């Protein structure tokens, strides 16, 4: 029993000695984890953001995600556990800027986050304005041209199509600056509907569906209509018509002369609805027809369009090939004689037909031509003149302004000043009385003389000329006869 009593204290003493001998040794110290890197934004929504990062620490307890708005302070958005590298922030406000950063943490504290800040703006929840005026036009038996009007500033457009009994199918997506689309590969004689969606980050705003559009049946094209023939004096005839078909290959043009058989004169390509027939000086009464054609045949004819084509220029002086004027001329100290002016040919100045007027004593006998000049009327301006002969640098200038303007007003013609001396009067010339006569006085530069012109606009032209020197009339030309073909 005594041995037992002695053994137990000794054992306790030995045991205590062991513990006491270790009381100054410290356990290993724990450090904060290394910071995550490569914070990346995976997706952005109107109210949520998904993100991921790379875990660089073997001893984190988890990760804490913080966020702040542009004007706010950092606050905890959420935490995830050890080795988790994905997080979705939810409950955000649309169209708002947010910054995010990620910490790893353990019992010793948080990692640094300076390299893991990302700033984004959540998507808008406001749809763009809907497109308007969506419409389709059949352009062939198998194609339809779709158009619409953009409203606002969408990011893009989506074009959908359906048949009368079908569901909507997506055809294409086009950029925001495009407002048309050609839908091809369709079925002839089939009705289609279209809608266009304006797209942005908030979604798609759909237009109302278009009116129905039916592709035509295969066969000869429909006949054109509203054929109009308009004479362009001295040049030719302009034809216009309405295209009533979407499957023509082109149009044939026909013309006849004064009741003769129609002859095909030309053809134009599909969708063209105008044609110019250059006739030149071939005056006559013409009638025109137009027909559409394709591989299946020709349409019926559009209504015929007649036109009385003259090589003329109507205005203050009636101008037409074959027009002539005869004047009695009296000059101081000389015997009276008759003067004749004829329009004999046409020239072109800057693309416009001008008419050559020659002047000579009548009967001609051995006399030579006294003068030549080109004339042409321009609507709203008056009668312009150019000297003979023509050259590449020649231009016509205003000789008789018409409408005439106010009394006493003036303008210039090739260095000469022209004054308006009458805006409407009655004048007796020889055996003729003329109403509505207008008058001009042309002061010849550097010559000390002037010429007074008296004109009956539209019907006759110049009825009287008076050359004046020192306020005295030294020469007169009075009209006695005229032939006007206008």
Band of pLDDT at residue 273, cut at 50, 70 and 90: very high
pTM value surpassing 0.75: no
Quick one: 368 exposed, middle or buried, by C-beta within 10 A (0-12, 13-18, 19+)? exposed
What does the pLDDT read at residue 18? 42
Band of pLDDT at residue 115, cut at 50, 70 and 90: low
* Residue 308 clears pLDDT 80, i.e. is over it: yes
Tokens matching residue 473: 């009339």
Mean pLDDT of 105-123: 87
Name the CATH topology of 313-483.
YmcC-like fold (2.40.360)
CATH 2.60.40.10 in the chain is located at: 37-121, 132-214, 225-310
The helix/strand/coil state of 74 is: coil
* Residue 211 clears pLDDT 70, i.e. is over it: yes
- Assign domain 132-214 one CATH number from 3.40.50.150, 3.40.50.300, 3.30.1330.60, 2.60.40.10: 2.60.40.10
Tokens matching residue 87: 């997080």
How confident is the model over 166-201, as pLDDT tens digits?
999 999 999 999 999 999 999 999 999 999 999 998
Mean pLDDT of 289-310: 88
Contact criterion met (CB below 8 Å) for 79 and 62: yes
Question: Count of CB atoms within 10 A of residue 177's CB?
Answer: 8
Could you give the percent of the chain with pLDDT greater than 70?
A: 92
What does the pLDDT read at residue 16? 45
Which residues have C-beta within 8 Å of that of residue 465, sequence separation ≥ 6? 327, 451, 452, 453, 454, 475, 476, 477
Band of pLDDT at residue 368, cut at 50, 70 and 90: low
Which residues have C-beta within 8 Å of that of residue 94, sequence separation ≥ 6? 46, 47, 122, 123, 124, 125, 126, 202
Which residues have C-beta within 8 Å of that of residue 390, sequence separation ≥ 6? 347, 348, 349, 354, 374
Spatial separation of the C-alpha atoms in residues 216 and 225, rounded to whole Å: 18
Spatial separation of the C-alpha atoms in residues 341 and 361, rounded to whole Å: 9
User: Which helix (DSSP H) or strand (DSSP E) does residue 15 occupy?
Assistant: helix 2-21
How confident is the model over 68-92, as pLDDT tens digits?
999 999 999 999 999 999 999 999 9
Peptide bond into 357 cis (omega under 30): no
* Residue 153 clears pLDDT 70, i.e. is over it: yes
Instruction: Note the CATH number of domain 225-310.
Output: 2.60.40.10
Spatial separation of the C-alpha atoms in residues 482 and 459, rounded to whole Å: 10
The DSSP code for 131 is P
Band of pLDDT at residue 282, cut at 50, 70 and 90: confident
Mean pLDDT of 314-329: 93
Q: Are strands 225-232 and 236-242 parallel, antiparallel or unpaired?
A: antiparallel
How confident is the model over 21-66, as pLDDT tens digits?
444 555 567 899 999 999 999 999 999 999 999 999 999 999 999 9
Mean pLDDT of 405-429: 95
- Assign domain 37-121 one CATH number from 2.40.50.100, 3.30.450.20, 2.60.40.10, 3.40.50.10190: 2.60.40.10
CATH 2.40.360.20 in the chain is located at: 313-483
């Amino acid at each position: 029993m005594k041995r037992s009593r002695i053994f137990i204290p000794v054992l306790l003493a030995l045991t205590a000695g062991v513990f006491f001998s270790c009381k100054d040794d410290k356990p290993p110290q724990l450090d904060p984890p290394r910071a995550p890197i490569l914070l990346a934004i995976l997706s952005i929504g109107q109210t949520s953001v998904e993100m991921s990062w790379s875990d660089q620490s073997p001893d984190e307890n988890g990760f804490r995600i913080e966020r702040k708005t542009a004007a706010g302070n950092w606050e905890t958005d959420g935490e995830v556990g050890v080795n988790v590298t994905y997080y979705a922030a939810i409950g955000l406000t649309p169209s708002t800027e947010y910054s995010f950063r990620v910490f790893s943490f353990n019992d010793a504290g948080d990692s640094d986050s300076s390299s893991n800040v990302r700033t984004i703006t959540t998507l808008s929840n406001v749809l763009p304005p809907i497109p308007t005026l969506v419409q389709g036009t059949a352009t062939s038996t198998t194609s339809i041209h779709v158009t619409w009007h953009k409203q606002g500033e969408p990011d893009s457009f989506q074009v959908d199509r359906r048949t009368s009994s079908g569901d909507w199918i997506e055809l294409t997506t086009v950029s925001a600056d495009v407002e048309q689309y050609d839908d091809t590969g369709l079925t002839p004689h089939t009705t289609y509907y279209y809608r266009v969606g304006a797209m942005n980050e908030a979604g798609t705003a759909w237009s109302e569906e278009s009116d129905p559009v039916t592709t035509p049946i295969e066969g000869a094209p429909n006949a054109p209509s509203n054929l109009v023939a308009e004479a362009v004096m001295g040049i030719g005839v302009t034809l216009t018509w309405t295209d009533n078909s979407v499957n023509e290959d082109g149009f044939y043009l026909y013309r006849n002369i004064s009741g003769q058989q129609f002859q095909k004169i030309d053809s134009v390509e599909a969708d063209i609805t105008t044609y110019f027939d250059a006739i030149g000086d071939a005056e006559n009464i013409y009638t025109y027809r137009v027909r559409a054609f394709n591989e299946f045949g020709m349409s019926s004819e559009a209504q015929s369009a007649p036109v009385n084509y003259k090589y003329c220029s109507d205005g203050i002086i009636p101008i037409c090939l074959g027009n002539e004027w005869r004047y009695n001329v009296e000059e101081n100290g000389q015997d009276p004689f008759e003067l004749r002016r004829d329009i004999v040919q046409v020239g072109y100045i800057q693309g416009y037909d001008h008419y050559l007027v020659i002047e000579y004593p009548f009967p001609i006998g051995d006399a030579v031509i006294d003068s030549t000049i080109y004339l042409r009327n321009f609507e709203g301006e008056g009668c312009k003149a150019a000297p003979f002969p023509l050259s590449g640098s020649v231009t016509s200038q205003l000789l008789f302004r018409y409408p005439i303007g106010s009394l006493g007003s003036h303008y210039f013609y090739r260095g000469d000043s022209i004054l308006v001396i009458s805006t409407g009067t009655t004048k007796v010339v020889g055996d003729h009385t003329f109403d509505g006569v207008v008058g001009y006085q042309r002061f010849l530069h550097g010559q000390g003389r002037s010429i007074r012109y008296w004109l009956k606009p539209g019907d006759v032209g110049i009825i009287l000329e008076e050359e004046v020197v020192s306020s005295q009339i030294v020469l007169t030309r009075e009209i006695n006869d005229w032939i006007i073909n206008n």
